Amino acid sequence: MRKRNFQPALPPFPGAGADDADPGACEAPGCELAGSFPAPRNREHPRPYRRFCLEHVRAYNANWDYYAGMSADQIDADRRLDVTWRRPTWTFGDKTPSFTTSPAGFDDPLGVFGATPTGGAHAHVSRFPPGSDEARAVQTMDLDDDFDLDALKLRYKTLVKLWHPDANGGSRASEDRLKTVNEAYKVLKDALVGSLPLPDINP
User: In this predicted structure, what is the pLDDT of residue 104?
Assistant: 43
23-55: pLDDT as tens digits: 789 999 999 999 999 999 988 888 899 999 999
Task: Quickly state the pLDDT bin for 73 (edges 50, 70, 90).
Answer: confident
- Which pTM value belongs to this model? 0.36
110-165: pLDDT as tens digits: 656 655 555 444 444 567 888 888 888 888 888 887 888 888 899 999 998 888 88
- 133-193 is a CATH 1.10.287.110 domain: yes
- The CA-CA-CA angle for residues 100, 104, 109, to 5°, reads 70
Domain ranges of the chain: 1-87, 133-193
In a 13 Å sphere around the CA of 188, the CA atoms on its Cβ side amount to: 30
User: In this predicted structure, what is the pLDDT of residue 115?
Assistant: 52
